[in-house]
């Protein structure tokens, strides 16, 4: 079952060996444990677990919260997603495809650029903290602010970006927020601008945690910069990189704000992400049943990706 | 506070920061390239922000017709005046957001740290399942939670109150997951020592683990606050009167109502971000160090 | 004594309603007839009336509090609480709030939402209120009262109408060597003017692929070419008829002929007008009060007749009386009094760039002396088309915007775009029918 596989990986992998002073028997302190967990579990069960389960129940109905009747329809909402020509399947898979495009396009930039920047910041330079602060600053702004700012700057007719391009002699009518593939470039670019600092800072921490001795040993072995990077830096960064990768993939897969504010999902619905479509279907059209079914399909996809990701990490750390 | 990274060390104390490389000799060219690249990137971040500030002082005509020129001519406070005197109580929204952010942060810190301690340090029946379920919910698209939580909040009588925008949000799995990872990475020796001295679980939690976890707690506090501050979907549903609104959905309101009045939209964006930016500047080093050093052990 | 009067009025209202109710067939949950009030004089115990509206921009934030304060001063037993919020927020939170008993006592909604709200049992029928306030269809522009009627029950009382018009930047015409006072009204004149502007290096009308205002222009054109958006009982989309294809092709041709740039951004067309980069913009009456235009020498005219008929798109707003869980009859009655008063005092509403719906207010010559720029819009009302009445219609009309967007951006031919959209719309209409009982 996915949950316990993930749990296994997380429980076993990074935990230090238990060197208990007592014998090898591990004491079970179930009562105490649940006492510690109680405040969290109460909130969790009411506001997370219950909705997640009732979401499944809702997905088996045609569920409009404003109407008195919610007819049970079994797996129809799910089946409709896989039947071409139904009301939802075309839009749903298009939005899933768009989510896939965005994730594949954004994640590499959201990993490589921060990695390079972190490597640079790891050098002895003056003002490192200032740079760090500047890079992290956009993350502090919310998606609404970021969306508003970039919608204006990227406006094809009025935005600064096109005017600057024009001044440089480049085409100045690029439809950054209006047409693909430019809209994708905009979305990825804005996302990188917004969250790059967060990843950078975490990767920087990971870099600082790699012992200098390892680099010295590699240098003594005759390794140049590139070799050092691949045989010391990357392996040492692995756990941190794994965390950042997972978080970034999840964030990209759940992207909503940037599309909603910058392109409104356009042109047509070419940049409408899964979450945008699900939110529209469930909240604007009041089709909570269909929206819940779609959410769980998305959940399954994310779960599979996560398991694969964790399995890969576990295999590598065991080799 | 030095940036410490908890590691499974052989020593009993948490190790100091690894000093910067001493052996590396950089060529002057490399140094210049380094500074240039970093500066360009920094400009890429800062310039848009400066542009926005300046645009907020422009008239609509100016903003539409001379976008390339950042200097407003004429310089006008019209946008800010419109916002200040408008029907929308922006300052009240700001206070609401602040109160909600602080409340949710405190709630998360308390519940998540206690629960994370149990998951990290205590053996108990059902541990794997509990942890597994918690982690699994991280993958559930947030839309699922909206309507059921709305109905729950309604039946609890919390509609249009600060509870509605703080309590459901503090139930998320991220905090407890994050802290659990951190606690697991702490060297167990100190706790062992305390236990041998006869301390019970709660004493250990309160007097040993929590103090050692300050970077992680600070990080979680910052992230939780930002999360609540930036939420713009949920408050729209559960907050009904204008006096109880929060800032971010309010900003979306401005964008809709004034979509062609760029000055006002930019001014609104600034008002929504200036408080957090100031907070951030003051606490910058602390915050960034916390995020960096907080046991992101994967 | 007061109670006896109430009872008397209730019986009278019920008798008047009986015919209407008999025709109504299925009654939605909680849709009882609105509270009792005659001629707008509520005389019950003191109540607070919460009033939700989407008037957050333009002149409204200054005007509305003044009106509300005046009303409150004149009515000692009613306190109206004005709660403005963004239109999108209202559609998000109002339905759920009404079900939870926390919605407003009176609100303003757009015409295309009324049937949806009514079908969801969120509104009180106001046939009774309408009668007792003394309103009939003739008090409003042709076809407007029907816009708030669903399944032969009245749910809305008209408040304002907002038709599309032709905005003209006279400076641009002058610079191109054209007479700024001659505004084209026929297809041939309009295209000829655009051609002349083109030779002078100006792209005369920028078309965009978005709701504001590409969709409004498209719908106007569809009606002008003799077509309609949906069939009479709103079970099928008809916007992909020949008329529809002609209308959309006309718009894409403007790009082809070079009268408009391709890939205009949202609001790009209006901003271009403001900035003197284009001469014409089809936009709503609400832009007449947009002070972005202040520096331009501009005027407004009726939209040119491109097709075989005169037609123009218009939106409308109506007063609605939510049927909150536990709704107090007194509060509804007080709200009705407020509505009548507002309608009677709506002359100043023109300052917000909307036309008051009540004929007597709008046809008062003083309105035009105060707001001369509104004349062309007023003249369009006899042939204005309002929103289609059907629950859940907004999702179906959204497909029109998708088709427009795809055709304008050159992704699909107009016919293909419209056909695909119509197929989608049909599915949506079917879903609506099965959910809301048609």
Each residue's pLDDT tens digit, B30-60:
788 888 988 999 998 888 888 888 888 877 6
> pLDDT (tens digit, 9 = 90+) per residue, B229-267?
888 778 888 888 878 888 877 776 666 555 667 777 778
Q: Give the pLDDT score at A158.
A: 75
8 A C-beta contact, residue C98 and residue C327: no
How many percent of chain A have pLDDT more than 90? 29
Question: Of A140-154, B99-113, C143-157, where does mean pLDDT reach its minimum?
Answer: A140-154
3 state DSSP class of B170:
helix
Residue from A257, A284, A273 nearest A101 by CA? A273
Taking a C-beta distance cutoff of 8 angstroms, is the pair B221, B109 a contact? yes
B-chain residue closest to C60, CA distance: B87
Mutation for testing the A interface, residue in B62, B139, B261, B293 having most A CBs under 10 Å: B139
The partner residues of C313 in beta bridges, in order of sequence, read C385
Which among C96, C261, C409 has the least Cβ separation from residue A267? C409
Contacts with A38 (C-beta within 8 Å, 6 or more apart), sequence order: none
Measured CA to CA, the distance from residue C139 to residue A134 in angstroms comes to 62
Of A21, A201, A296, the CB nearest to B196: A21
User: Is the per-residue pLDDT at A120 higher than 90?
Assistant: no
pLDDT digits (tens, 9 = 90+) for B137-176: 988 888 788 888 988 998 899 999 999 999 999 998 888 9
Contact between chains at B86 and C61 (C-beta distance less than 8 A): yes
Is there a domain that residue A89 lies in? yes
What is the domain-level CATH number for residue A281? 1.10.3720.10
Task: Tell me if C268 and A65 make a contact (CB, 8 A cut-off).
Answer: no
Q: Is residue A34 part of a domain?
A: no
Closest alpha carbon within chain C to B253: C86
pLDDT tens digits, one per residue of B215-225: 778 878 888 88
**Each residue's pLDDT tens digit, A191-223:** 999 999 888 877 887 777 777 778 888 888 887
Question: What CATH number matches the domain at B83-293, 2.60.40.420, 3.40.190.10, 1.10.3720.10, 2.60.40.1930?
Answer: 1.10.3720.10
B22 pLDDT tier (thresholds 50, 70, 90): very low
pLDDT band (50, 70, 90) for residue A25: very low
Q: Is A172 on the interface with C (CB under 8 A)?
A: no
Contacts of C294 in chain B (CB under 8 A): 61
- Statement: residue B65 has pLDDT above 70: no
Q: What is the C-alpha to C-alpha distance for residues C166 and C119, in angstroms, rounded to an integer?
A: 36
Residue B1 CB neighbour total at 10 angstroms? 11
Residues 6+ apart with CB under 8 A from C336: C34, C35, C37, C40, C42, C126, C129, C132, C133, C321
What are C233's two structure tokens?
A: 């009982």
What is the sign, positive or negative, of the torsion defined by CA atoms of A270, A276, A282, A286?
negative
Pairs of CB atoms within 8 A across B/C: 70
pLDDT digits (tens, 9 = 90+) for C244-281: 999 999 999 999 999 999 888 888 899 889 888 899 99
State mean pLDDT over B75-97: 76
Q: Cite the DSSP H helix spans in B70-213.
A: 78-85, 90-121, 127-136, 143-155, 173-185, 189-196, 201-204, 210-212
Chain A closest CA to C281's CA: distance in Å? 16
Q: Return the residue of A nearest to B143 by Cα.
A: A279
Residue B275: band (very low, low, confident or very high) from pLDDT cuts 50, 70, 90: confident
A179 at the C interface (CB within 8 A)? yes
Q: Which of C 286-325 lie inside 8 A of B, CB atoms?
A: 290-292, 294-295
CB of B45 closer than 8 Å to CB of A134: yes
Q: Is residue A92 part of a domain?
A: yes
pLDDT in tens, B177-212: 888 877 887 778 888 888 888 888 888 888 888 887
Indicate the residue of C99, C263, C271 with minimum beta-carbon distance to A178.
Answer: C263
Neighbours of A81 (CB within 10 A): 20
Domains of chain C with bracketed CATH: 30-162+315-384 (3.40.190.10), 163-314+389-436 (3.40.190.10)
Phi, psi of B15 (to 5 degrees): -70, 155
Tens digit of each residue's pLDDT, chain C (438 residues): 333 333 333 333 333 333 333 223 333 334 445 545 565 678 888 999 999 998 877 778 778 989 999 999 999 999 999 988 878 788 888 998 998 888 999 999 999 999 999 999 999 998 888 888 889 999 999 889 988 999 889 999 999 999 999 999 999 999 999 999 999 999 999 999 999 999 999 999 999 999 888 999 999 999 999 999 999 989 999 999 999 999 999 999 999 999 999 888 888 899 889 888 899 999 999 889 887 788 889 999 999 999 999 999 999 999 999 999 888 888 999 999 999 999 999 888 998 889 999 999 999 999 989 899 999 999 999 999 999 989 999 999 999 999 999 999 999 999 999 999 999 999 999 999 988 875
Please compute the mean of the pLDDT values over residues B281-292 and round it to a whole number: 63
Residue B49: per-residue pLDDT = 84
**With contact defined as beta carbons under 8 Å apart, do B252 and B232 qualify?**
yes
CB–CB contact B123 A131 (8 Å): no
Higher pLDDT, B19 or B172: B172
Cα of B284 to nearest chain C Cα, Å: 35
- Chain B residue numbers with beta carbons less than 8 Å from the beta carbon of C89 are 236, 249, 253
| Option in B237, B242, B260 nearest C270 (CB) | B260
CA separation for the pair C80, C106 (Å, rounded): 10
The whole-number average pLDDT for the span B63-78 is 72
Q: Pick from A21, A141, A306: which is nearest to B273 by CB?
A: A141
- Interface check C275 vs B, CB under 8 A: yes
Residues of chain A neighbouring C263 (CB-CB closer than 8 A): 156, 173, 175, 178-179
Residue A262: inside a domain: yes
Return d(Cα C388, Cα C111) in angstroms, integer.
8
What pLDDT sits at residue C8? 35
User: Are C97 and B159 a contacting pair at CB < 8 A?
Assistant: yes
In chain B, what residues touch A206 (CB-CB under 8 Å)? 296
Residue with the bigger pLDDT between A144 and A193: it is A193
Closest CA to B296 of A252, A238, A120, A6: A238
pLDDT on residue B292: 58
Q: Given C89, C100, C291, which is nearest B236 (Cβ)? A: C89
Collect all residues from C whose CB is shorter than 8 A from any CB in A.
29, 91-92, 95-96, 99, 120-122, 209-210, 261, 263-266, 268, 271-272, 275, 277, 392, 395, 402, 405-406, 409, 411, 424, 427-428, 431, 435-436
- List chain A residues with CB under 8 Å of C424: 87
Render pLDDT for C285-318 as a digit per residue (tens, 0 to 9).
988 988 778 888 999 999 999 999 999 999 999 9
Q: For residue B44, which residues of chain A lie inside 8 Å, CB to CB? A: 193
Residue B87 to residues A149, B102, C69, Cα–Cα distance (Å): 23, 26, 14
Question: How many structural domains are present in chain A?
Answer: 1
Chain A: residue whose CA lies nearest to C266 = A178
Sign of CA pseudo-dihedral B123, B128, B131, B133: negative
Assess whether pLDDT exceeds 50 at residue A12: no
Q: Which domain holds residue A108?
A: 52-318
The answer to whether residue A256 is domain-embedded is yes
C-interface mutation test, from B89, B247, B254, B257, most C Cβ less than 10 A away: B257
Give chain A positions within 8 Å (CB) of C431: 87, 287
Q: Where are the domains of chain B?
A: 83-293
């Amino acid at each position: 079952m996915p949950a316990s596989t993930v749990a296994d990986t997380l429980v076993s992998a990074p935990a230090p060996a238990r060197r208990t002073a007592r014998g090898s028997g591990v004491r079970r302190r179930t009562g105490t444990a649940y006492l510690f967990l109680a405040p969290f579990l109460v909130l969790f069960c009411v506001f997370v677990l219950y909705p997640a389960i009732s979401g499944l129940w809702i997905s088996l109905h045609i569920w409009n919260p404003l109407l008195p009747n919610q007819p049970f329809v079994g797996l129809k909402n799910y089946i409709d997603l896989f039947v071409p020509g139904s009301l939802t399947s075309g839009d749903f898979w298009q939005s899933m495809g768009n989510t896939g495009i965005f994730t594949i396009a954004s994640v590499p930039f959201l990993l490589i650029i921060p990695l390079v920047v972190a490597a640079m910041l790891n050098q002895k330079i003056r003002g490192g903290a200032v740079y760090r602060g500047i890079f992290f600053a956009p993350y502090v702004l919310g998606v609404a602010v970021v969306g508003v700012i970039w919608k204006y700057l990227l406006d094809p007719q009025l935005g600064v970006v096109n005017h600057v391009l024009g001044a440089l002699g480049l085409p100045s009518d690029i439809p950054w927020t209006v047409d693909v593939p430019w809209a994708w470039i905009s979305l990825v670019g804005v996302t990188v601008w917004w969250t790059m600092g967060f990843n950078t800072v975490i990767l920087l921490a990971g870099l600082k945690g790699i012992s200098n001795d390892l680099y010295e040993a590699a240098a003594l072995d005759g390794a140049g910069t590139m070799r050092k990077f691949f045989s010391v830096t990357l392996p040492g960064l692995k756990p941190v990189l794994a965390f950042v990768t997972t978080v970034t993939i999840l964030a990209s897969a759940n992207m909503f704000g940037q599309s909603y504010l910058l392109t409104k999902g356009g042109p047509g619905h070419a940049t409408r992400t899964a979450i945008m479509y699900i939110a529209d279907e469930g909240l604007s059209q009041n089709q909570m049943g269909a929206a819940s079914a779609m959410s769980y399909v998305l959940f399954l996809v994310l779960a599979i990706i996560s398991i694969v990701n964790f399995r890969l990490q576990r295999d590598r750390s065991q080799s | 506070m030095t940036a410490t990274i908890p590691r499974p060390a052989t020593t009993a104390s948490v190790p100091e920061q690894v000093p910067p490389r001493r052996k590396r000799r950089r060529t002057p060219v490399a140094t210049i390239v380094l500074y240039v690249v970093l500066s360009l990137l920094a400009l890429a971040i800062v310039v848009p922000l400066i542009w926005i500030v300046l645009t907020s002082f422009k008239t609509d005509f100016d903003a539409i017709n001379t976008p390339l020129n950042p200097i407003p001519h004429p310089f006008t406070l019209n946008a800010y005046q419109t916002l200040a005197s408008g029907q929308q109580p922006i300052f009240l929204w700001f206070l609401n957001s602040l109160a909600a952010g602080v409340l949710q942060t405190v709630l998360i810190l308390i519940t998540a740290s206690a629960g994370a301690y149990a998951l990290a340090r205590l053996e108990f029946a059902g541990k794997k399942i509990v942890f597994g379920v918690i982690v699994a919910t991280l993958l559930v698209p947030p839309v699922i939670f909206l309507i059921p939580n709305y109905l729950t909040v309604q039946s609890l009588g919390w509609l249009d109150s600060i509870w509605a925008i703080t309590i459901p949000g503090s139930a998320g799995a991220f905090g407890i997951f994050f802290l659990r990872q951190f606690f697991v990475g702490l060297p167990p020796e100190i706790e062992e020592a305390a236990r041998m001295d006869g301390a019970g679980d709660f004493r250990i939690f309160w007097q040993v683990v929590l103090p050692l976890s300050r970077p992680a707690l600070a990080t979680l506090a910052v992230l939780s606050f930002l999360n609540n501050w930036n939420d713009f979907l949920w408050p729209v549903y559960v907050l009904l009167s204008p006096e109880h609104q929060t800032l971010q959905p309010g900003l979306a309101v401005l964008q809709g109502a004034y979509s062609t009045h760029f000055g006002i939209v930019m001014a609104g964006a600034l008002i929504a971000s200036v408080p957090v930016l100031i907070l951030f500047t003051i606490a910058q080093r602390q915050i960034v160090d916390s995020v960096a050093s907080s046991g992101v052990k994967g | 004594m007061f109670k006896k009067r109430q009872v008397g009025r209730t019986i009278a209202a019920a008798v008047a309603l009986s015919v209407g109710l008999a025709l109504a067939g299925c009654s939605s949950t909680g849709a009882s007839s609105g509270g009792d009030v005659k001629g707008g004089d509520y005389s019950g115990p003191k109540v607070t009336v919460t009033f939700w509206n989407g008037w957050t921009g333009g002149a409204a934030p200054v005007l509305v509090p003044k009106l509300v304060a005046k009303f409150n001063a004149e009515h000692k037993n009613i306190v109206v609480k004005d709660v403005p919020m963004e239109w999108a927020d209202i559609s998000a939170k109002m339905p759920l709030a009404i079900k939870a008993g926390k919605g407003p006592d009176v609100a303003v909604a757009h015409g295309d939402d009324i049937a949806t709200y009514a079908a969801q049992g969120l509104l009180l029928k106001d046939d009774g209120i309408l009668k007792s306030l003394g309103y009939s269809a003739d008090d409003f522009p042709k076809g407007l009262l029907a816009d708030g009627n669903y399944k032969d029950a009245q749910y809305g009382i008209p408040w304002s109408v907002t038709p599309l018009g032709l905005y003209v930047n006279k400076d641009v015409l002058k610079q191109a060597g054209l007479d700024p006072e001659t505004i084209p009204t026929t297809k041939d004149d309009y295209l000829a003017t655009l051609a002349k502007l083109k030779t002078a290096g100006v792209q005369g009308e920028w078309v965009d692929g978005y709701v504001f205002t590409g969709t409004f222009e498209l719908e106007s054109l569809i009606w002008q070419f003799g077509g309609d958006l949906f069939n009479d009982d709103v079970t099928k989309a008809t916007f992909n008829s020949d008329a529809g294809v002609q209308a959309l092709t006309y718009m894409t041709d403007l790009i082809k002929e070079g009268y408009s740039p391709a890939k205009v951004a949202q609001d790009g067309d209006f901003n271009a007008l403001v900035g003197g980069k284009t001469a014409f913009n089809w936009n709503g009456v609400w832009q007449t009060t947009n002070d972005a235009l202040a520096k331009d020498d501009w005027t407004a005219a009726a939209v040119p007749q491109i097709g075989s008929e005169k037609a123009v798109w218009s939106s409308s707003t109506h007063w609605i009386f939510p049927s909150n869980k536990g709704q107090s009859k007194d509060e509804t009655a007080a709200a009705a009094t407020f509505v009548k008063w507002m309608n009677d005092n709506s002359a100043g509403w023109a300052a917000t760039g909307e036309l008051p719906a009540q004929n007597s207010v709008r046809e008062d010559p003083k309105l035009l002396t105060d707001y001369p720029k509104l004349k062309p819009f007023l003249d369009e009302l006899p042939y204005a088309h309002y929103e289609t009445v059907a629950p859940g219609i907004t999702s179906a009309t959204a497909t029109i915007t998708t088709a427009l967007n795809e055709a304008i951006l050159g992704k699909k031919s107009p016919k293909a775009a419209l056909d695909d959209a119509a197929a989608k719309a049909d599915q949506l209409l079917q879903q609506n029918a099965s959910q809301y009982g048609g």
